[in-house]
Amino acid sequence: MKRLFISLIVFCIFTCLSAYDAKKIIRIGTDQTDLVLQVAPNGRLYQVYLGDKLLHDKELNCFFPYVKSGSDKSVSTRGWEVYAGSGAEDFFEPAVAITHSDGNPSTVLQYVSSEQKSIKGGIETVIRLKDSEYPVEVMLYYRAYPKENVIKTWSEIKHQEKKTIILWRYASTMLYFSGNNYYLTEFSSDWAKEAQMNSQQLQFGKKIIDTKLGSRAAMHVHPFFELGLEQPVQETQGRVLVGTMGWTGNFRFTFEVDNAGNLRVIPAINPYASHYELRPNELFVTPEFIFTYSNKGTGQASRNLHDWARNYQLKDGCGSRLTLLNNWENTCFDFNESLLADLMKEANHLGVDMFLLDDGWFGNKYPRNSDTAGLGDWEVMKKKLPGGIPTLVESAKKVGVKLGIWIEPEMVNPKSELFEKHPEWVISLPNRKLYYYRNQLVLDLSNPKVQDFVFGVVDCILTNNPEVAYLKWDCNSPITNIYSPYLKNKQGQLYIDYVRGIYRVLKRVKEKYPEVPMMLCSGGGARCDYEALKYFTEFWCSDNTDPIERLFIQWGFSQVFPAKAMAAHVTSWNKNTSVKFRTDVASMCKLGFDLGLKDLNNDELVFCRQAVVNWTRLKGLILDGQQYRLVSPYEGNHMSVMYVNQDKSKAILFTYDINPRFAEKLLPVKLQGLDSFKRYKIKEINLMPNVSSDLIFDNQIYSGDYLMKVGIDAFTTNRAFSRVIEITAE
Ligand code: DGJ
């Protein structure tokens, strides 16, 4: 009798809990956005809302659970399952697909539990799902950052089946939209053509943006996108979602418009050649997908991401940055100890913080005098630099600049001692002719021994030379000859384990050398994602430093990354433009130089030195301020961008005339982000010696209201002409 009574109570509690859970609402909210999930009567989890913040908490219970079992079978009534599995009732692209150890290819996930807790800057929600028929579990993670209005989400998959299962889809998350029109902006790329923005309307079916390049993964497309809801994305108005994946390898964004006109967005590791064998109890963690939703266009969305990145993701996001003189464009491989000592003096004369020694300083048996040999042999080339790194450090110290060093530790030239010693460390097909990209091959980072070697390259430089103050980490080749000698019959894991191998190395580097700033470079900007940027303070946007091209490239990257993370150098690309124009373009990001001062005339040198002083004085504003993109280079012959500090007491405006037409009608530049009631003094800076500023920018005073509504006549009809205007509240 007693047992019956207890069973009855347990049954009642269980039924109540199930009934409660069957309506359970999970709100993932920021100050501006709500993502609302709900458990339906069938016990599965659905997205019921994603959009502007809902003001009345009570109405969270009003959502109509989509699923009405046995009724209408159209997609919308079956619901928007948060992490849809393959092989059962969903007809469209799944989030997860598994072949179980018995060969069954279906996955149906039931809601089990969820919890929320505070984390630095926000709230973390963890949701547990479980397959109804197999011991497979999925954990969905969401981190909401209320103030920055950013949500970061990822998933974890594990199982307790008796044998290995095969994962062949493993999305980070899945988001749904219901509307009449969707517009996608993608960021295509190539060497010297990074972050080119193109928009298109999404129609029925799938649009896929992906890469299969492995190491130099984002060479042809970057891991971010913008989505315009109902209208193409605009800078200051309209509902947009800007999303990006933190994965330094093959990624795939799927945008699928279904039969009912709904859109699902699936960010994921590209499953291409990557059927992943997951052992019992092994955890498969997907990359983070980071997104922000804005109803005020992409300008606000970008500012959300910039703030979030500086606060929580970017290495030393709240710290400062070093100006530098690099030698790659100036000397290429052709330098020696005394030339470098001279360049360090030039760095000092220019007023920058550091001299960055690029490619070509290593290799003895196979000297690195071109890109055909030496990669992998990380001992200093005695012939070029007999005193080694210590002498370089000394020369730098003598003239009061820091020293930075270039490395490319994931790669090897076949003409190297490393290749001779360890051919088994190289990704290469055993039975075919080898294909080279830039005469090099990729080391097998899935192999722990190779990870140790790569860590050792960095460790050795920094332990033996603790005064080396900066590293530039390059990666010039995609993975070719795709076969890992280490993974043997598990080749489906190569692309994924390669990236995980890099992260293991980078984590060790960051743990041991947390203070060392590092630049992420990949033959220009072919690596730029928020997982890598946990370990790097900045990235190299492009080898293309033609300032006109840079206006487009920097405009593109700024959609997702703050100026602080974007390295921009003044070089001699496009000598048809003035040194001032080139410097003003680089000054809107993290400023550096890569030219010989001997190529400059006296006025240009005086100008550059003053520009460094100005930039250093204003770098807090440029690197940490709110960025407003005012005039797009895609829309005409001009470009303008500005930065405003926290309390709106200081701003800086950059304006560029690209190739204006004769007698073109010029519109004033209307500023943004100022305080309407403050009065601001405007003063043109970065002027060439003996050139005085236009009278209208010589300490004139206007209200913020005037500057934002009427604007100022900063554009001209001059070709490749620029202005930098400092704006200071009285
Ligand atoms: C490609 C990079 O983008 C350049 O800046 C330079 O470091 C070269 N590699 C060196 O090989």
Q: Are strands 721-729 and 650-657 parallel, antiparallel or unpaired?
A: antiparallel
Residue to substitute in 368, 375, 406, 438 for testing ligand 1 pocket (most ligand atoms within 8 angstroms of CB): 406
Q: Which of 432, 438, 526, 447 is nearest to 482 (CA)?
A: 432
- CA dist 692 and 131 (Å) reads 72
Looking at residue 19, its pLDDT comes to 40
Looking at residue 10, its pLDDT comes to 41
For 2-170, CATH number out of 2.70.98.60, 3.40.190.10, 2.70.180.20, 2.40.10.340 equals: 2.70.98.60
Note if the pTM is more than 0.85.
Answer: yes
Question: Binning pLDDT at 50, 70 and 90, where does residue 695 land?
Answer: confident
The tokens describing 122, both together, are 């926000």
- CA dist 242 and 152 (Å) reads 12
Residue to substitute in 329, 371, 540, 594 for testing ligand 1 pocket (most ligand atoms within 8 angstroms of CB): 540
Closest atom, ligand 1, to C-alpha of 542: 3
Mean pLDDT of the chain: 94
Looking at residue 21, its pLDDT comes to 65
- Is the pLDDT at 75 greater than 90, yes or no? no
Q: Which of 386, 246, 359 is nearest to 594 (CA)?
A: 359
Question: Binning pLDDT at 50, 70 and 90, where does residue 17 land?
Answer: very low
- CA dist 240 and 232 (Å) reads 9
Residue 654 β-bridge partners: 641, 724
Residue to substitute in 359, 362, 372, 595 for testing ligand 1 pocket (most ligand atoms within 8 angstroms of CB): 359
- Is the pLDDT at 217 greater than 90, yes or no? yes
Residues lining ligand 1, judged by CB closer than 6 Å? 328, 358-359, 406, 474, 476, 521, 523-524, 540, 543
Q: Could you tell me the residue ranges of all domains in the chain?
A: 2-170, 177-273+291-301, 324-625, 629-729
With a pLDDT cut of 90, the percent of the chain lying above it is 92
> Measured in angstroms, how far is the CA atom of residue 66 from the centroid of ligand 1?
53
Residue to substitute in 335, 369, 474 for testing ligand 1 pocket (most ligand atoms within 8 angstroms of CB): 474
> Measured in angstroms, how far is the CA atom of residue 331 from the centroid of ligand 1?
12
Looking at residue 76, its pLDDT comes to 47
Burial code of 602-626, b = ≥16 C-beta within 10 A, e = fewer? eebbebbebbbebbeebbebbbbbb
> Measured in angstroms, how far is the CA atom of residue 543 from the centroid of ligand 1?
7
Residue written as token pair 């051919």:
423
Question: Topology of 324-625 in CATH?
Answer: TIM Barrel (3.20.20)
Looking at residue 65, its pLDDT comes to 56
Question: Binning pLDDT at 50, 70 and 90, where does residue 64 land?
Answer: low
- CA dist 175 and 255 (Å) reads 10
Residue whose CA lies nearest to ligand 1 atom number 4 = 523
Question: Binning pLDDT at 50, 70 and 90, where does residue 135 land?
Answer: very high
> Measured in angstroms, how far is the CA atom of residue 444 from the centroid of ligand 1?
21
CB–CB of 233/181 below 8 Å? no
> Measured in angstroms, how far is the CA atom of residue 140 from the centroid of ligand 1?
39
- CA dist 249 and 213 (Å) reads 7
Residue whose CA lies nearest to ligand 1 atom number 11 = 359
Predicted confidence (pLDDT) per residue in 476-528, tens digit: 999 999 999 999 999 999 999 999 999 999 999 999 999 999 999 999 999 99
Question: Binning pLDDT at 50, 70 and 90, where does residue 90 land?
Answer: confident
Looking at residue 66, its pLDDT comes to 56
Predicted confidence (pLDDT) per residue in 300-330, tens digit: 999 999 999 999 999 999 999 999 999 999 9
- Is the pLDDT at 2 greater than 70, yes or no? no
CB–CB of 186/209 below 8 Å? yes
Looking at residue 12, its pLDDT comes to 39
Closest atom, ligand 1, to C-alpha of 522: 3
Predicted confidence (pLDDT) per residue in 514-557, tens digit: 999 999 999 999 999 999 999 999 999 999 999 999 999 999 99
Looking at residue 694, its pLDDT comes to 79
CB–CB of 484/491 below 8 Å? yes
Residue written as token pair 């290469």:
428
Predicted confidence (pLDDT) per residue in 650-688, tens digit: 999 999 999 999 989 999 999 999 999 999 999 999 999
Asked: is 629-729 a CATH 2.60.40.1180 domain? The reply is: yes
Edge-to-edge order in the sheet of strand 25-29: 25-29, 33-39, 45-52
